[in-house]
């Protein structure tokens, strides 16, 4: 099954290698990985999606926690959450056939973000299946797609969490982590 992990990691050189290396060691293929700054200074937030047996979730999360630079890990599993992906798609389009693409973009609630006489650039945010849908339709017209760039999935739990992950892990852990961070302050 597909597992989705959200983790906070220290924003330092080599940390991503450590995360990636763990999955290589476990012989698990990472199907999607996004990383960026989080609401917490010095910490990056990553969303990692991988295919592994249903029982593997516990061990992956426990192993991620064993990495020294990993601060929090949340196994999203089946929890109510919002998942999005961003895609940039460049398609060949002349002034004559643009209108048709404009319509498509409208239907898929995407946006045109760049336009030249030979091509245009579509930006689309959504769940994976919607992005796949748009690409599918664009593909029906042979040779039209010039480039696709997809961000991979980003996931956040639904509902109110001061720092979603911490709450999801239960207050006890959050407190310990919080104290640890407090102790780290000079």
Partner 1 sequence: MGIDAMTHLTTPTRLTGAEILWATLVGEGVDTVFGYPGGAILPAYDALRKFPIRHVLVRHEQGAAHMADGYARASGKVGVAVATSGPGATNLITGIATAMLDSIPMVCVTGNVSSKVLGTDAFQEVDITGITLPVTKHNFLVSRAEDLAAALRHAFQIARSGRPGPVLVDITKDAQQATAIFDFEAAKPKLYRPHPMLKVEDAGLAQAAELIRNAERPVILAGHGVSEAGAMEQVRTLAERAQIPVGLTLLGLGSFPASHPLNLGMMGMHGEAWVNDAIQEADLLIACGMRFDDRVIGTPATYATKAKKIHIEIDPAEINKNVKVDVALVGDLRAVLEELLPRISSRGQGGRDGSSWLKWIDGRKGESAVRDIKNLPDMGHLYAAHVMHDLWRITGGNAVVVTDVGQHQMWEAQYYHHEHPRTLITSGGLGTMGFALPAAIGAKFGCPEKEVWVVAGDGGFQMTAAELSTIVQERLKINIAVINTGYLGMVRQWQEFFYERNYEATPLVSPDFVKLADAHGIPGRAVRTRGEVAAAVEEARAANGAFLLNFLVEKEDSVYPMIPAGSSLHEMILRPGRDPLEERADD
Cβ neighbours of residue 172 under 8 Å, at least 6 residues apart? Answer: none
Distance of alpha carbon 75 from alpha carbon 168, whole angstroms:
9
173 binds partner 1 (CB under 8 A): yes
Q: How far is CA 19 from CA 66, 69, 147, 177, 186, in A?
A: 10, 9, 29, 20, 28
Task: Report which secondary-structure segment, H or E, holds 112.
Answer: strand 111-115
From 10, 11, 18, 135, residue interacting with partner 1 (rule: CB under 8 A): 18
Cα end-to-end distance, the chain, whole Å: 44
Distance of alpha carbon 71 from alpha carbon 45, whole angstroms:
10
17 binds partner 1 (CB under 8 A): yes
Q: Report the nearest approach of partner 1 to the CB of residue 61 (Å).
A: 7
Distance of alpha carbon 102 from alpha carbon 8, whole angstroms:
39
Q: Report the nearest approach of partner 1 to the CB of residue 167 (Å).
A: 13
Per-residue mark of binding to partner 1, 38-77 (x: CB under 8 A): -----------------x--xx-xxx-xxxx---xx----
Q: Which residues pair with 125 in a beta bridge?
A: 86
Looking at beta carbons only, is 8 or 108 nearer to partner 1?
Answer: 8
Cα angle value 119/123/125 (rounded, 5°): 160
Looking at beta carbons only, is 25 or 160 nearer to partner 1?
Answer: 25
Span interacting with partner 1, options 11-19, 103-111, 124-132, 137-145, rule CB under 8 A: 11-19
CB atoms within 10 A of CB 32: 19
Q: Which of the residues 70 through 109 are near partner 1 (CB under 8 A)?
A: 72-73
Q: How many residues bind partner 1 (CB under 8 A)?
A: 25
From 25, 96, 142, 160, residue interacting with partner 1 (rule: CB under 8 A): 25
Looking at beta carbons only, is 58 or 96 nearer to partner 1?
Answer: 58
178 binds partner 1 (CB under 8 A): no
Contact residues: partner 1, CB under 8 A:
14, 17-18, 21, 25, 55, 58-59, 61-63, 65-68, 72-73, 169, 173, 176-177, 179-180, 183-184
């Amino acid at each position: 099954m597909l597992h989705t992990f959200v983790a906070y990691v220290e924003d330092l050189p080599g940390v991503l290698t450590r995360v990636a290396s763990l999955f290589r060691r476990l012989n698990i293929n990472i199907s999607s990985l996004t990383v960026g700054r989080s609401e917490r200074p010095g910490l990056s937030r990553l969303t990692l999606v991988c295919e592994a047996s249903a029982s593997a979730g516990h061990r992956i999360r426990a192993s991620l926690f064993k990495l020294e630079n990993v601060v929090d890990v949340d196994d999203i599993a089946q929890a109510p959450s919002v998942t999005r992906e961003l895609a940039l798609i460049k398609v060949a389009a002349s002034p004559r056939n643009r209108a048709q693409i404009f319509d498509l973009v409208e239907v898929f609630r995407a946006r045109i973000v760049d336009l030249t006489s030979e091509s245009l650039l579509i930006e689309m945010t959504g769940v994976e299946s919607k992005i796949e849908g748009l690409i599918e339709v664009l593909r029906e017209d042979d040779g039209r797609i010039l480039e696709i760039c997809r961000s991979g999935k980003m996931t956040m739990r639904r509902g109110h969490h001061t720092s979603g992950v911490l709450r999801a892990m239960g207050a006890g852990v959050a407190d310990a982590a919080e104290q640890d961070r407090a102790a780290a302050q000079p």
